[in-house]
Amino acid sequence: MPGAWIFVLVGAIVTYAWRGAGVALSGRIDPNSRAMRWVTAIAYALLAGLIARLIVAPQGALAETPLWLRFMAAALSIGIYLLCRRSITAGVAAGAGLMVVVSALGMD
């Protein structure tokens, strides 16, 4: 068991070293540079891919819901998000609320 703590300690050191380097270098990074725009685009692409996978090929309890309901919840979430001045909370609440109501009414 003491050997396992070595791995935890090394993992923590590596993690916090990178975080410290990020804090130290953050003042020198131009947020409008080409490199940062590329990093931002990659982050958005990863997020879009994860959301698409959750809608099209979910696992667990979400896989038991019909595809049409997942698409409707996503569309409603995006619509409410845009109507409520880009409120993520409102968008997520609307999509989740739709899924709860449809399930409660037995329409799924």
For 26-37, the pLDDT digits (tens) are 888 898 999 999
- Tokens of residue 74, six digits: 């996503």
Predicted local confidence at residue 100, as pLDDT: 95
pTM over 0.85: no
Task: Return left, alpha or beta for 85; rule: phi > 0 is left, psi -120 to 50 is alpha, else beta.
Answer: left
CA–CA gap between residue 6 and residue 108 (Å, rounded): 50
Lowest mean pLDDT among 16-20, 23-27, 35-39, 98-102: 23-27
For 35-60, the pLDDT digits (tens) are 999 999 999 999 999 999 999 999 99
Say which DSSP state 86 is in: S
